[in-house]
Structure 1
Amino acid sequence: MKKNILLPVLLLLATLSAFAQKEWTLKSNKDGIKVFTRTDQNSGLKEIRVQCQVPATLSQMVALVMDVNAGKDWVYATKSSTLLKTVSPSELYYYSEVDMPWPLSNRDFIAHLIVSQHPQSHVVTIDGPTVGNYVAEKEDIVRVKRSSGKWTLSPVAENLVHVDYTLSVDPGGNIPIWLVNLFATKGPTETFRKLKTQITKPVYARVKLPYIVD
């Protein structure tokens, strides 16, 4: 009898745990940019989610994200961003160094960007997991080895895209809570404000990517 009761209880607890892990808390809502956070139950680290709408086409948005050499122009705290390898028009590897305030060491990472598009909905996904040892580590810079970013770009109307971006990252080393909170709220807001400006530059104005249906 006890076994019969125990099984549904365990299933209920597992369901509640999975549900709780999916909950996001709205931390900021400025200039149409919503920033959410949640705590990863396995690592205890903060995850970030950003939602906004950008007046652009899908091709323009993909072109901007894949233009990694320009990342320092709009991604918060980026000291450098450099293309390492182009696998195909929809796949690449790049290196980036993140500027941290003194006395913390800067962080760097190598990301692997892969673009895909759903054939019916035309929703575009850009996955960006890190690759820890793609290039040698540098002295006095902490290598970020565990990170996963994901862009979900949904067409809303002509020249209007809904952006849903999530990021889970282990920055490594000891970072004070106030700085974690700063990067979790100010960082995403500043990044997406600059993104909206960056997308208006002439280099993206007439972009039409052959592998993207707008």
Structure 2
Amino acid sequence: MSSLHRIALACGLTVLVAGVAQAEDWQVAKDEDGIKVSLSDVAGSKYKAYRGETVINASMAKVRSFQEDVAGACKWIHECKSQKALKREGDQVWTYTQFNTPWPVTPRDSVLLVTSVNGADGSLTRKLEGQPKYIPEESGFVRVAAVDGFWKFVPKGPNQTAVTYQVHTEPGGSVPSWLANKFVVDAPFNTLKALKEVAEK
């Protein structure tokens, strides 16, 4: 990737991270087991954005290895049924994920473009951008209409990494309010808890 392209990506991620943080009013919804989950209203959407934060007692390299194992990551992503990489190109990977949902809600699937940017401070940011039209829809699934978010990993020492996981999703189709409200807390909390467990072994 060219230096200019890297700079453009870095600037874009800075705008994303700073813009969302400044524009939204985050309220803590859950804080336990060393994991804090905050929620925020999003203009024009009935679904809240969520942000999960924790510190994992493992090196950046180890945490990153779990992130980059696309199929294996399904073991710790909340309600993930299966996940695979569709395409890799430089610092970008397109992923396809199928999710479990409680009856009678139709299972969801999503296509994401994940763009990784290494910061000068040793941090790693992985921007998550929904690509719902990238492949044809699968029978038996409702395609997630929009995803906008990021993972950010910041080394805090040789064996400690601060992790932020922030996402806003438009799930597509009809989703009961009770499930939507539960998902925005459970998704970041359970995902980070499971990632901590596997990374700290």
TM-score > 0.5, shorter chain as reference: yes
The aligned residue for residue 78 of structure 2 is 76
RMSD: 1.8
The aligned residue for residue 157 of structure 1 is 157
Q: Secondary structure at the match of 1:68?
A: coil
In structure 1, list runs of 5 or more residues that go unmatched.
Answer: 1-17, 202-214
Contact 1:49/1:166 (CA < 8 Å) preserved in 2? yes
**Aligned ranges for residues 139-158 of structure 1 at < 5 Å?**
139-158=139-158
In structure 2, list runs of 5 or more residues that go unmatched.
Answer: 1-19
Off by >6 Å, runs of 4+ in structure 1: none
Deviation at 1:83, TM superposition (A): 1.5
- Write the distance in 2 (CA, Å) between the matches of 1:145 and 1:164: 23
Deviation at 1:19, TM superposition (A): 8.8
Q: Number of matched residues?
A: 182
Distance change >3 Å, CA 200–CA 32, structure 1 → 2: closer
Contact 2:50/2:167 (CA < 8 Å) preserved in 1? yes
Deviation at 1:200, TM superposition (A): 4.1
Q: Partner letter of residue 87 of structure 1?
A: E
The aligned residue for residue 113 of structure 1 is 114
The aligned residue for residue 178 of structure 2 is 178
Distance change >3 Å, CA 189–CA 19, structure 1 → 2: closer
Contact 1:117/1:123 (CA < 8 Å) preserved in 2? yes
TM-score computed with the length of structure 2 as normaliser: 0.84
Give per-residue Cα distances to partners, 1:142-183, cap 9 Å, x unaligned.
111310120111111221111111101000111111111111
- Write the distance in 2 (CA, Å) between the matches of 1:21 and 1:44: 17
Contact 2:165/2:188 (CA < 8 Å) preserved in 1? no
- Write the distance in 2 (CA, Å) between the matches of 1:44 and 1:182: 14
Identity of aligned residues (%): 26
The aligned residue for residue 39 of structure 1 is 41
Distance change >3 Å, CA 20–CA 195, structure 1 → 2: closer
- Write the distance in 1 (CA, Å) between the matches of 2:67 and 2:151: 9
- Write the distance in 2 (CA, Å) between the matches of 1:100 and 1:111: 19
Deviation at 1:40, TM superposition (A): 0.1
TM-score computed with the length of structure 1 as normaliser: 0.80
Contact 1:68/1:83 (CA < 8 Å) preserved in 2? yes
Q: Secondary structure at the match of 2:37?
A: strand
- Write the distance in 2 (CA, Å) between the matches of 1:20 and 1:118: 21
